Structure formats: C-alpha cells, structure tokens
Amino acid sequence: MGRMRMCHVPAGEFWMGTDPPEGQQNEHPRRRVMTAAYAIGEAPVTNA
C-alpha cells in the first residue's frame, strides 16, 4: 500500500454560523473564523 496523497489548504478566514432568526441555536452567532494551513487527504476514506 502506498502513501496517501495530500493536498495543501492555505491559511485563511471565512464566515461561520448564522444570526437569529436563521439556523439552529448552536450555529449562533455568525462570526469570522481564521484557520491555519493544513493538509488533507486527496481521496475519500470509508469505513467499509
């Protein structure tokens, strides 16, 4: 079995959540979130 191929995702920011009355209570408040850079596997993984 070979190594899993990884894709680089750069650091960035995005809007997360929603403000009332939209969405569910655990989605409040809408806020800007900053993420660090990370790597994620190129292929989906299953529990088969």
Tell me the pTM.
0.61
Supply the pLDDT for residue 46. 86
Measured distance CA(31)–CA(11) in Å, rounded: 17
Supply the pLDDT for residue 2. 76
Structure tokens at 34: 């900053």
Q: pLDDT band at residue 1, thresholds of 50, 70 and 90?
A: low
Measured distance CA(5)–CA(40) in Å, rounded: 9
pLDDT digits 0-9 by tens, 10-44: 999 999 999 989 999 899 999 999 999 999 999 98
Supply the pLDDT for residue 47. 82
